[in-house]
Structure formats: C-alpha cells, structure tokens
Chains A and B, each alone.
Chain A
Amino acid sequence: MTEEHLARLHKMKVQGRPQALVDAIPYLKFLNVGARLEADGSLICILPNQEKTIGNPTLPAIHGGVIGGLLESVALLQLIWSLEGPSIPRTINTSMDFLRSGQAKDTYARGRITKQGRRVANVRAEAWQDDPARPIAAAHGHFLLG
C-alpha cells in the first residue's frame, strides 16, 4: 500500500502534474489549493479566496493557521518536486513571520530550497496576495529527508 502510494506520487512528479500531487493530499484538497509550475521549475501554490478560511471575520482576514499551513505545504511540495526519488520528507520544525494581515483574496506561495543535505533540507517560503514584493507571511522550515 505504502509503496504503491509513493510510486503513484512519483509518477505525478515525472509526468509534471503538480495539481495531481496537491489533490492527493486531503487537507490541501479540502482547502481547494491549486498548483502550477513556473518555467524555472519552482512551484506556486494558490489558495483561492473562500469564506471557510476566514479567521478574523471583523477585518476580514484569513486564519494565520491556514497561511502557515500553506507555507509549510509549498515548502514540502517544492522539496518533493526537487528530490530525485519517491519520498515524502517530514517536517522537523517551521518558523513563521506574519508580515501583513491576509485579506479575503487569493493567496499565492512559493518555496526555495536554501540547502539540501543528505538528511535535512532547509527551505524558505513566502506568501503574497497582490504583489510578490509585499509578502503577507514568510517562513523557514527544516525537513527530514528519506
């Protein structure tokens, strides 16, 4: 079962289908997260604006936990996409800065691998809405490989 799953995920990667990979993750499917590949091989995740992700109805603003989860996800997906073999890294820790409130709009996120060692990878991720130069949140995380 496990091997089968991993092989399936690997196939989506080989076929260049990031959306299929995202849709295989129940929580991301529940949040209706989209994914696309940029020409440089970096992966962009899109969290569409939707009422259910609101954490502050007064402003209104997206729940910080949802944005944090998006950052962790894009970091992990970028790693899965960049690793050679079929494996799912495990998050050791994440550290998130919330820079601006996440308005009720579509939110984008991307990750950049700053170092990939044999056992651990360091990844930085950012989320933005209108302008990538004005991120609403940034994170760095450590992920256990293999």
Chain B
Amino acid sequence: MPGGEPDGAALEPAIDLDVIRSFAVEIPFLKEIDTRIDTLERGRCRLSLPWQDKLVGDPVSRVIHGGVITTLLDSASGMAVFSMIPKVMQIATLDLRIDYLRPAVPDHGIRAEAECYRLSRNVAFVRGRAFQDPDKQVASSLATFMLESSTL
C-alpha cells in the first residue's frame, strides 16, 4: 500500500461538534461578515452569509469579492478538518485552489460546503463548493491542511 499510513483507531474523530461550533462563532472575521454555521457533521461543514453591500468586489457588476468566497471555503474546509481529527490541535491551510465557475448573483447570500475526504497523520485533504442556487455552483475548491501546525 502506498504510504502505508494507518487509518486505525488513532485517527478517530473525537472533538465534540458543539465545541467546534462554539470556537467558530467567536472568530472575529467570520463575525464581521456575518457568517453562519448551517450544518456541521463529521467530515462535512456548510456555512453561509447574507448579501451585504460591503462585500462587493466589482463596483460595475456588483459581484461579491473573490476574497469573501475564499474566506467561506477556507473556513468551511478548516471546520470539516476539525470535525475529523482525534484531538484539539492547531491546523494550517497549506494550499487552497479555487475555480470561479460563474459570477455570483448580486443581492443574494452565498453558501459554501466542504468535505474532508481523506485524513492522514499529517495532512488533511478537503474539497469544497460555493453556491447560491444549488444547481448553479459559483466556485469549487481543493485544499490541504497541515495538522499540528504549531510543530512546523
């Protein structure tokens, strides 16, 4: 088996989801842009935020700024990782790639959901999507996170 990493008991998710929620709602930037946690389950997180004029990135088209979508996807991805790790630890985004599939429609809020689909001893792999209408995806993302990043 390539890598030969054990998927056994040591990597069982163990952090209470309510603990993750209570941490997340205290994050200043997420509060500042009125981010809500819609759902959090093991390996999956869905966040949303309402339309706000201050988040516009293009004054001509009034499309929401890519940085807002980046924030939502990064946060949803990080929370999906927290829901899967065996103990409380620092995690850090190693890289994040976002494809903008279509412009977001002005005057409507936006949602992002992420799934942590593989957790190894050191690295978590996450895919995500942002959308308004579930059938019309606005962006997709791939991210990796380093676990125990304080020991880097």
Q: Which A residues are closer than 8 A to B by beta carbons?
A: 2, 5-6, 9, 24-30, 51-59, 62-66, 68-70, 72-73, 88, 90-98, 101
Contact = CB atoms under 8 A, between A and B. Distances in A.
B67 A72 contact: yes
Contacts of A9: 59-60
B72 interface: yes
B75 to A, nearest CB: 7
Q: Which 10 pairs of residues, A with B, have the shortest CB-CB distance?
A: A69-B67, A65-B71, A27-B65, A68-B70, A63-B29, A30-B54, A26-B56, A54-B28, A95-B97, A52-B32
B57 A96 contact: no
**Chain B CB within 10 Å, residue with most, of A27, A88, A97:** A27
Given A65-B70, A66-B67, A88-B58, 19 more contacts: A25-B58, A26-B57, A27-B54, A52-B28, A52-B29, A54-B28, A55-B30, A56-B27, A64-B96, A68-B74, A69-B67, A91-B66, A91-B100, A96-B70, A96-B93, A96-B95, A98-B92, A98-B93, A101-B149
A53 B32 CA distance: 8
Contacts of A94: 66, 70, 97-98
Contacts of B30: 55, 63
B68 interface: yes
Interface of B: 26-30, 32, 53-61, 64-68, 70-75, 90, 92-100, 103, 149
B114 to A, nearest CB: 13
Contacts, number: 129
A92 B92 contact: no
Contacts of B96: 64, 68, 95-96, 98
A71 to B, nearest CB: 9
Contacts of A66: 29, 67, 71
B29 A72 contact: no
